[in-house]
Structure 1
Amino acid sequence: MNIFADIRALVLDNLAVMTSEGLLPAGLSFDNVTVEPPRDAAHGDMATNAAMVLAKPAKMKPRDIAEALAARLTADDRIAGAEVAGPGFLNLRIETRVWQGLIGAVLAEGTAYGRSDLGHGMKVNVEYVSANPTGPLHVGHTRGAVFGDALASLLDYSGHDVTREYYINDGGAQVDVLARSVYLRYLEALGAEVDFPDGTYPGEYLIEVGKTLAEEIGDRYVDQPESVWLAELREYATGKMMALIREDLAALGVKMDVFFSEKSLYGTGKIEDAIEHLRAKGLIYRGVLEPPKGKTPEDWEPREQTLFKSTDHGDDVDRPIMKSDGSWTYFAPDIAYHYDKITRGFDELIDIFGADHGGYVKRMKAAVSALSEGKVPVDIKLTQLVKLWKNGEPFKMSKRAGNFVTLRDVVDQVGPDVTRFVMLTRKNDAPLDFDFDKVLEQSRENPVFYVQYANARVMSVMRKATEAGIAVDDATLRAADLGLIGHDAELTVAKKLAEWPRLVETAARAHEPHRIAFYLNELASDFHALWNRGNDVVELRFVQEGDAATSQAKMALARAVSVVISAGLGILGVTPAQEMR
């Protein structure tokens, strides 16, 4: 059930009738007509922009359209009133029985309430985390992992066919550095004194890897040149790091469908195929780039390079794909990787990058546009930095990691549920402060607690009702007399529940799972307000002594709140609290 969609359909039907009657000119597009909650609840239950968006193309005054539409809408038995405001805004009031009926619909649909077929089974690839396999995941990866995973769940909930994917950057020089760092820990495990030169990884997480290697091969590589052990240690170290990363992701509740290796693109012809695909379109050429804008570096000199004509697809400059020594630039395998995604039949690609990849967005969009002939959209989301605080001070670095705070540091401090929810309390491209003290507070200011407390309160009052001998199983609550729900505070909660299906679709279209967290906080606020009113107004209490029928109607509302909170938390990857301790 989606009341906002139903009323929008009613508005569109009446606009069509007005067109057939000659009150509106033929050929108008109604695509931009919306029905949504008004900014001020005092103005009504819903508002439509129909008159405002149609006035100009219809060459009519918006108020004239609004008044004619209002007269028709009030003929529907769901509409209690339609009021034209200002130049042509149309505010609607919905009959109380509609909100009462919604409570029953939520209970009848259960976890399906709010789900939609918005995506129509569209195949979407969401690539996220994709950290270099050189160590444990850090807090920046944590935010990207939570955002990507919640977005994937949101898209799945709204009818998309989603693949969660991790791109293993195991084809570059950083993996050579990892292998050399593991070699040093290997020598250390055999009793040698070692120094970690600049550019290596000194984190303690490699100590155990070095020990394990020493136990497995003994002194086989001692005093051996790099040419003997580098290739094997690349494989060995990468495998160990990916096992560590998988454990980190599991601790956060993230499970990938696909781990795609960059290395699999080399020596297989996949990079060459992708570049030839672009060459056939006339997008690969030999040329000389202009010097960088602003102050030109002293060592800059013009040189002929193999370039991708990315400016044909919206980029600022063309991009090199091959180095002067004939090897590929880092951009070439990324082109090939996205070409592989396209050939796998995805209808849309979503990449979750860290804030430091801002300069990479236009070139990657240009590549996907060229590779797919504009048929496959790619949305690249950047996750901004996370600032960690504890005891009023910046959180210290992790010895285990060497120079950063790990995902495990965060999860071990506050748990996966708190970590995930807090990471979604800001839009992905806004900086986030993560205060270890505040996220564990049991207060209104802590959104994690506030939402979880609402669900725990529902579970608590259901237990209380059961102890009082009142049946509160779902079947009984679905059959409750919901006409007994009528107080403004109760209807406010029901109206917020009505927004859930619309909110899901809005968030899915915008690729913004943080909207789910915001909505849950608003729903919790309305529920807590109703609960607190019950302290003063006896008839608002959920359990009415000696009146099972009224209690069950009120419990139906509470249970509906729990259904929606549980669905929303499920999208965020958070387990609903059954009780607060």
Structure 2
Amino acid sequence: MTLYARFAAHVDDALNALEAEGVLARGIERGAVAVEPPRDPSHGDLATNAAMVLAKRAGMNPRALAEAIAAKLGAVGEVASVEIAGPGFINLRLARGVWEEELSAILAAGGDYGRSNLGGGQMVNVEYVSANPTGPMHMGHCRGAVVGDALASLLEYAGYKVRREYYVNDAGGQVDVLARSAHLRYREALGEDIGEIPEGLYPGDYLKPVGERLAREHGDAFVGKPESEWLALFRREAVADMLAMIKADLALLGIRHEIFASEAELQAEGKPAEAEAWLRARDLVYDGVLEAPKGETPEDWEPVELPLFRATRFGDDQDRPIRKSDGSWTYFGADLAYHFQKAREADQLIDIWGADHAGTVKRIKAAVAALTEGRTPFDVKLVQMVRLLRAGEPVKMSKRAGNFVTLADVVREVGKDVVRFTMLTRKADAQMDFDFAKVVEASKDNPVFYVQYAHARIRSLQRRAKEEGLALPAAADLSLLDADELDLVKLAAQFPRVVEGAAAAHEPHRIAFYLGDLAAAFHAQWNKGNDDPEKRFLVGQRPDLTRSRLELAEAIGQVVRNGLAIMGVEAAEEMQ
């Protein structure tokens, strides 16, 4: 049980006692009661809003209820003092021994400090990246890839089972364009002068190896032949090569999916028709006519009867067609069927999408609500694009023009850890600049460097201590730590709470933010030694104090490693 959970239990015990004494009415909902750090650390170590959120329901004055709760909490052995602030907030100061025990708990738990059973083993399907298989990964895909992968790791750390999934959009017109582009490169590999790449095809050189392989395997069998003889084959082969390339690119970021679900296979297996039948049986699909487009109606528009999903029953703005007039599936119809399949094998669904898909969120949420009869929570996280900067100037990216910046190029230039950490330094739905110079800058303004530098400093301390014969003891005298040093422990003790909060909100960037705060606090404590030698972590004439501070540093380092591991970032052992 985490420290915060333990004190939440103390508050619960206090409320139970007040109910038993008749001071507080029984059965009042307590879901909004929280125990958290006060916004101002000078107010204490922990704060609870119990009196504020329960007073109205209990028909009591908040201050009077706070006094009753405070009296109970003051009798808890771990509590040094209790104060009531404002109209009824309760601030607690904890006994020093609580923080000394927490420091020891961090070291004892090691890599498991902060792990939680919040998820209770529920299966969560996290779908992320899912870029069209028409070329290598570029930096437009990178942020969603990192956010999704870090979220998956965060959920596992918080006690969920996680399935990482990539949805391969291999059934649309863009895949036919890929096949035609590969056929052009195939002819080029056989010696044909193809000249300029025609408008509408993919011009990138990444398709040359595909064409060369197809030329080796098939010779000139498909030269001068009608498209109907080679399109399906070239589509299948080109998609396979693109997926191999995508997997290799993602591996550079340390990302691997358990499942690659094919849209083409989904349709070939009749899954959209199965989903449609399921919905029709519940009167959730009907044959109807779409409303005319808003504004000026196009001259060629005419009403057509189509199968429509009753999306408006589930919060969407209008009912949505699942088939086109020619009988083929709409994008929505295929996506509906895909989510129908996923929901059968998961307790929760999370999709990570680019912000350009914002208009699709309502209809897919409506579909999942219908298909799961409201039983399966579904969250969509929208990720804003990343603007690349070099020398302060934007770097253009265009896959169709063939001059985009690949993910692989960026990882090779600045490193996997820099890329992953940087992508989590802002909320996913906030705009982000990725400046090639700033992300590798050795300054406190660069959070990647600052967090890594904190861990590297701790490792350097341990190496120096070993050289000087001051190895970490079995039990240091933690009573020698001063108030400022205990403040570091208090901040480290928030890590389990941050993990649970980030997992519940599906926001892995909270881990990066927290590590930034922890690193800043550690560096501030380190820097005190520059002015006062007695404040240094290694004090030669005080081996007992040095050992206590080494244990403190090791605990901070452990929390940093645990947080970085969730982010998929390796902790730096030293900085050049």
Partner of 2:306: 305
1:10-31 per-position Cα deviation (integer Å, ceiling 9, x unaligned): 0111011111111111121111
Letter of the 1:469 partner, please give it.
Answer: G
- Contact 1:125–1:163, Cα closer than 8 Å, also in 2: yes
Partner of 2:406: 406
Secondary structure of the equivalent of 1:90? Answer: strand
Partner of 1:250: 251
Partner of 2:489: 494
Partner of 1:550: 545
The Cα of 1:399 is off from its aligned counterpart by: 8.8
Partner of 2:210: 209
Partner of 2:344: 343
Cα distance in 1, alignment partners of residues 218 and 42 from structure 2: 75
- Contact 1:262–1:333, Cα closer than 8 Å, also in 2: yes
Matches within 5 A, 1:168-183: 168-183=168-183
**Could you tell me the TM-score, scaled by structure 2's length?**
0.97
**Could you tell me the TM-score, scaled by structure 1's length?**
0.97
1:134-190 per-position Cα deviation (integer Å, ceiling 9, x unaligned): 001121211010000000000000000000011111111111110000011111222
Partner of 1:369: 369
The Cα of 1:357 is off from its aligned counterpart by: 0.6
Matches within 5 A, 1:9-20: 9-20=9-20
Is structure 2 residue 570 aligned with structure 1 residue 575?
A: yes
Cα distance in 1, alignment partners of residues 72 and 430 from structure 2: 44
The Cα of 1:401 is off from its aligned counterpart by: 7.2
Cα distance in 2, alignment partners of residues 548 and 401 from structure 1: 65
Is structure 2 residue 528 aligned with structure 1 residue 533?
A: yes
Is structure 2 residue 201 aligned with structure 1 residue 200?
A: yes
Is structure 2 residue 264 aligned with structure 1 residue 268?
A: no
Secondary structure of the equivalent of 1:349? Answer: strand
Letter of the 2:443 partner, please give it.
Answer: S
Is structure 2 residue 332 aligned with structure 1 residue 331?
A: yes
Partner of 2:441: 441
Secondary structure of the equivalent of 2:60? Answer: coil
The Cα of 1:372 is off from its aligned counterpart by: 0.8
The Cα of 1:292 is off from its aligned counterpart by: 3.1
Letter of the 2:507 partner, please give it.
Answer: E
Letter of the 1:367 partner, please give it.
Answer: A
- Contact 2:284–2:309, Cα closer than 8 Å, also in 1: yes
The Cα of 1:411 is off from its aligned counterpart by: 1.0
- Contact 1:425–1:518, Cα closer than 8 Å, also in 2: yes
Q: Aligned-pair RMSD on alpha carbons? A: 1.4
- Contact 1:104–1:482, Cα closer than 8 Å, also in 2: no
Percent of pairs identical after alignment? 58
Cα distance in 2, alignment partners of residues 167 and 210 from structure 1: 25
Secondary structure of the equivalent of 2:81? Answer: strand
- Contact 1:136–1:401, Cα closer than 8 Å, also in 2: no
The Cα of 1:567 is off from its aligned counterpart by: 0.6
The Cα of 1:560 is off from its aligned counterpart by: 0.6
Is structure 2 residue 480 aligned with structure 1 residue 479?
A: no
- Contact 1:308–1:318, Cα closer than 8 Å, also in 2: yes
- Contact 1:398–1:406, Cα closer than 8 Å, also in 2: no
Task: Count residues with an aligned counterpart.
Answer: 575
Partner of 1:218: 219
Cα distance in 2, alignment partners of residues 406 and 285 from structure 1: 45
- Contact 1:454–1:528, Cα closer than 8 Å, also in 2: yes
Is structure 2 residue 499 aligned with structure 1 residue 504?
A: yes
Cα distance in 2, alignment partners of residues 554 and 146 from structure 1: 35
Cα distance in 1, alignment partners of residues 299 and 530 from structure 2: 74
Partner of 2:29: 29
Cα distance in 1, alignment partners of residues 453 and 298 from structure 2: 58
- Contact 2:201–2:400, Cα closer than 8 Å, also in 1: no
Partner of 1:357: 357
The Cα of 1:211 is off from its aligned counterpart by: 1.8
Secondary structure of the equivalent of 1:322? Answer: coil
Partner of 1:559: 554
The Cα of 1:513 is off from its aligned counterpart by: 0.1
Cα distance in 2, alignment partners of residues 329 and 279 from structure 1: 17
Letter of the 1:272 partner, please give it.
Answer: A
Kindly tell me: are residues 469 and 208 of structure 1, through their superposed partners in 2, closer, same or farther at Cα, counting changes over 3 Å?
same
- Contact 1:101–1:482, Cα closer than 8 Å, also in 2: no
Matches within 5 A, 1:44-83: 44-83=44-83
The Cα of 1:455 is off from its aligned counterpart by: 0.3
Letter of the 2:86 partner, please give it.
Answer: G
Partner of 2:99: 99
Is structure 2 residue 524 aligned with structure 1 residue 523?
A: no
The Cα of 1:538 is off from its aligned counterpart by: 2.7
- Contact 2:202–2:400, Cα closer than 8 Å, also in 1: no
Partner of 2:125: 125
The Cα of 1:298 is off from its aligned counterpart by: 4.3
Secondary structure of the equivalent of 2:569? Answer: coil
The Cα of 1:443 is off from its aligned counterpart by: 0.2
- Contact 2:462–2:471, Cα closer than 8 Å, also in 1: no
Secondary structure of the equivalent of 2:201? Answer: coil
1:431-467 per-position Cα deviation (integer Å, ceiling 9, x unaligned): 1111111111000000000000000000000001011
The Cα of 1:294 is off from its aligned counterpart by: 4.1
1:194-218 per-position Cα deviation (integer Å, ceiling 9, x unaligned): 2322221111111121122222222
Kindly tell me: are residues 103 and 447 of structure 1, through their superposed partners in 2, closer, same or farther at Cα, counting changes over 3 Å?
same
1:492-543 per-position Cα deviation (integer Å, ceiling 9, x unaligned): 1101011000000000000000000000000001100110112223332211
Letter of the 1:479 partner, please give it.
Answer: A
Letter of the 2:489 partner, please give it.
Answer: A
Cα distance in 1, alignment partners of residues 202 and 511 from structure 2: 39
